[in-house]
Structure 1
Amino acid sequence: MSEAKTVCVAFTGASGMPYGLRLVECLLDAGCRVWLLYSQVAQIVARQEMDWQLPARAAEVEADLSARFAAAPGQLRVFGREEWFAPPASGSNPPDAMVVCPCTMATLAAIAAGLSQNLIERAADVVIKEGRKLVLVPRETPYSAIHLENMLKLARLGVCILPPNPGF
């Protein structure tokens, strides 16, 4: 039997928190290990879209989601924005894949520019440099020429740009 995949999931401040939360649930149900990162603005979006008070402390988020999704011990790990020594920040032990869902255009632009100003950007940078799969789920439309250029730059690096398009 193969070892469980590790997927790093990041919530940013874009609209679409239900997509990200459902992704975490499905990954846990599939037996994956999940490393969850979230931005400060994601806390606001969670409250507005889902009436979910996303705690500021990573340990509280981990306990809440582990209980909500019946995660096995250690299956879900949550890291704070400034945890620069967390596993997602290091190329020594990168995740198998990373999904930023939902993804703001600011985060997408920072990743395209190779910035690492917070743990989400650093983790994405690590995934790209280590040749792992990165999926970005941008929610802001319409796209400007700048947005499209940033998406093209990332697509040429092998990043999957996956705008959510519900089938209704």
Structure 2
Amino acid sequence: MKLDRVTLAITGASGVQYGLRLLECLVAADIQVLVLISRAAQVVIATETELKMPGATAEQEQFLTDLYSAKDGQIRVFGREQWMSPVASGSGAPSAMVVCPCSTGSLSAIACGASNNLIERAADVALKERRQLILVPREAPYSEIHLEHMLKLTRMGAVVIPASPGFYNKPASVEDMIDFVVARILNQLGVEQTLMPRWGDDLIR
């Protein structure tokens, strides 16, 4: 079945470039993206990028739509307590959710089923409905607490993809390193991508 909708949560870890690049690629693949941006993520976006992200969700939605030349309605942004949004219920949520980057605070809350905001609730829905949940943590080093949460979530069926770029593709820029991680996420989602060739593709063509 072709993926047509994805929930993308961007939380307050360093590495918002991964989440924004993933959003760009999903839009280019003609997938509707339901976007959740934490307050901490807005601070990180202002710190790590040149983007001037608005504070209100409606303005964020228009900003991202314009930034990535998305179709009308292709990007929907929901606030932290917008409980009537589709992602808050198993009957309306997409079949896949990605938290990218995933802060260790979000990792902890998701592992414990806290559901104190819409990001945590959306992840809880993905887990309870046995849907695809991909978490992209970016921290160094990982404490025992972080590792226990990742193990717990993996046992629940989530996929953990640390934001750890490889170097066998000989990256020539920061953008290449970002694309390495984003390509791995897209592969997990089953979305065709040309950011990075799959391992061994040159041997079977």
Cross-structure match for 1:76: 75
Cross-structure match for 2:130: 131
TM-score (norm 1): 0.96
Cross-structure match for 1:51: 50
> Does the 8 Å contact 2:53/2:63 carry over to 1?
no
Structure 2 unpaired stretches of 5+: 168-205
Cross-structure match for 2:183: none
Distance, in Å, in 1 between the alignment partners of 2:27 and 2:3 is 10
Look up the equivalent residue of 2:110 and give its one-letter code. Answer: I
What is the deviation of 1:96? 1.5
Cross-structure match for 2:191: none
Distance, in Å, in 2 between the alignment partners of 1:96 and 1:28 is 17
Structure 1 unpaired stretches of 5+: none
Over the matched positions of the two proteins, sequence identity in percent amounts to 55
How many positions carry a matched residue from both structures? 167
CA RMSD in angstroms comes to 1.2
Find out whether 1:152 has 2:156 as its counterpart: no
Distance, in Å, in 2 between the alignment partners of 1:27 and 1:3 is 13
Cross-structure match for 2:13: 14
Cross-structure match for 2:35: 36
C-alpha deviations, 1:4-61, integer Å up to 9, x for none?
5210000100000110000000001111110000110111100000022221111111
C-alpha deviations, 1:85-144, integer Å up to 9, x for none?
111111111211000001100100100001100000000000111111000000111111
Considering Cα pairs closer than 8 Å and 6+ residues apart, tell me whether 1 or 2 has the greater RCO: 1
Partner secondary structure for residue 127 of structure 1: helix
Look up the equivalent residue of 2:153 and give its one-letter code. Answer: L
> Within 5 Å, which residues of 2 pair with 1:94-113?
94-113=93-112
> Does the 8 Å contact 2:46/2:53 carry over to 1?
yes
> Does the 8 Å contact 1:14/1:102 carry over to 2?
yes
Which consecutive aligned stretches of 4+ in structure 1 deviate over 4 angstroms post-superposition? none
Distance, in Å, in 2 between the alignment partners of 1:143 and 1:160 is 17
Distance, in Å, in 1 between the alignment partners of 2:126 and 2:68 is 26
Greater Rg, structure 1 or structure 2? 2
TM-score (norm 2): 0.79
